[in-house]
Amino acid sequence: MNFLQKLRNIQRKHNSLLCIGLDTEVAKVPEFLYAYGDPQFEFNRRIIDATKDIVCAYKLNVAFYESVGEHGWYTVHQTLARIPEEIVTIGDGKRGDIPNSAEKQALLLCEDWEFTGVTVNPYMGKDSIEPFMKRSDQCAFILAVTSNKGAKDLQYLKVQGRPLYEHVVKLAKKWNTKKNVGLVVGATRPAELKRVRSLAPEMPILIPGVGVQRGDLESAVRYGCNTKGELAIINIGRSVIYASNGNDFAEKAREAALKIRNQINTYREKYFR
């Protein structure tokens, strides 16, 4: 099964565009989890078990695991093993390097950890991200427009009369020969999201920035979806996983996730049905 079909299947089965970001900081998990050998995994396990029927994807920013040392490598393995096979998993590493280095990066993310999708940085060109585009069942999500303040330092520079990010989208479409390339556009950039969707009507778009970063959820749905109200992956992390720091953290995470999933579907009904 190719990536697009897997994404469509789970979005339809769970009636959900919601992706939960498991950017878990050990220092922020409830104290009672410290009694477990791996509190980071125990936190992830409970969040997954509480929400796995209402999401289309989970995204792990790998920096939160690499930064804790060798044990973080095993935590990623354990976390991915807990996620049902039908759900999309995204390794948010923003990789991309000279080809021999990129091959090693892809070996870890795509073959060892075997994420369904990986975020990649296109700044060094096609050969720096080709290793992430080998398999049709895995998606390379290319950074197009990001949510951070520094995005305008490069992404908005005019090149031949158009912002650089539009050239990135054009190249991503050209490279998408296996239908396994997607784009990343921050929810804090609704006008740009609308433009990117118009340029790439049938590519999956990963949309971070809703929640703590204050991206507008309605705009993310309206401008991020294709004409069928699909192919947008709306990531929300801290406002869901840290909805409570007590013993009820998983239950509260489910409540927060369900509320957002339902809000997303209300907007899908409004604009696409």
**pLDDT given at position 26:** 93
| 95 has pLDDT over 70 | yes
82: pLDDT strictly greater than 80: yes
Is residue 41 over pLDDT 70?
yes
In this prediction, residues 76-100 reach a mean pLDDT of 97
As a whole number of angstroms, the distance between CA 116 and CA 52 comes to 16
Instruction: Report pLDDT digits (tens) over 118-132.
Output: 999 999 999 999 999
pLDDT at 1 over 80: yes
Is 252 one of the annotated active-site residues of the chain? no
Element of type H or E holding 78 = helix 70-82
Q: Which of 250, 258, 267, 264 is nearest to 210 (CA)?
A: 264
Say yes or no to pLDDT of 164 above 80: yes
Name the active-site residue from 94, 179, 194, 252. 94
Percent over 90 (pLDDT), the chain: 95
What's the rounded Cα separation, in Å, for the pair 122 and 55? 28
Angle between helix axes 164-175 and 190-199 (nearest 10 degrees) is 40
Q: Which domain holds residue 134?
A: 3-272
pLDDT at 209: 86
pLDDT tens per residue, range 167-224: 999 999 999 999 999 999 999 999 999 999 999 999 999 999 886 677 899 999 999 9
Pair 268, 222: CB distance under 8 Å:
no
pLDDT category, 80, cuts 50, 70, 90?
very high
Q: What is the CATH number of the domain that holds 77?
A: 3.20.20.70
Three-state SS for 253? helix
DSSP 8-state assignment for residue 204:
-
- Kindly state the average pLDDT of the residues 31-48: 97
- CB-based contacts of 117, cutoff 8 Å, min separation 6: 3, 57, 88, 89, 90, 91, 138, 139, 140, 141, 182, 206
Is the confidence at residue 46, as pLDDT, over 90?
A: yes
> 214 — alpha (psi -120 to 50), left (phi > 0) or beta?
left
- pLDDT for the residue numbered 212: 65
pLDDT recorded at residue 222 = 97
Which is more confidently placed, 160 or 214? 160
pLDDT above 90 (res 273): no
The C-alpha atoms of residue 28 and residue 247 are separated, in whole angstroms, by: 13
Give the chain's radius of gyration (CA, Å). 18
**CB-based contact 52:81 (threshold 8 Å):** no
Strand segments, DSSP code E, in the chain are: 18-21, 57-61, 88-95, 117-120, 139-145, 158-159, 162-163, 181-185, 205-207, 232-236
- Identify the DSSP state of 87: S
| Residues 152, 13: Cα–Cα separation, whole Å | 38
Do residues 177 and 167 touch, judged by C-beta distance below 8 A?
Answer: no
The number of distinct structural domains making up the chain is 1
| CA–CA gap between residue 218 and residue 207 (Å, rounded) | 12
Gap between the Cα atoms of 264 and 234, Å rounded: 9
* CA nearest neighbour of 48 among 211, 257, 207, 264: 257
At residue 71, φ and ψ (nearest 5 deg) are -65, -30
Which helix (H) or strand (E) segment holds residue 63: the answer is helix 63-66
Q: Are strands 117-120 and 205-207 parallel, antiparallel or unpaired?
A: unpaired
Q: Per-residue pLDDT tens for 105-159?
A: 999 999 999 999 999 999 999 999 999 999 999 999 999 999 898 999 999 999 9
Question: Residue 163: beta bridge partners?
Answer: 158
Report the predicted TM-score, pTM, of the whole model to 2 decimal places.
0.97
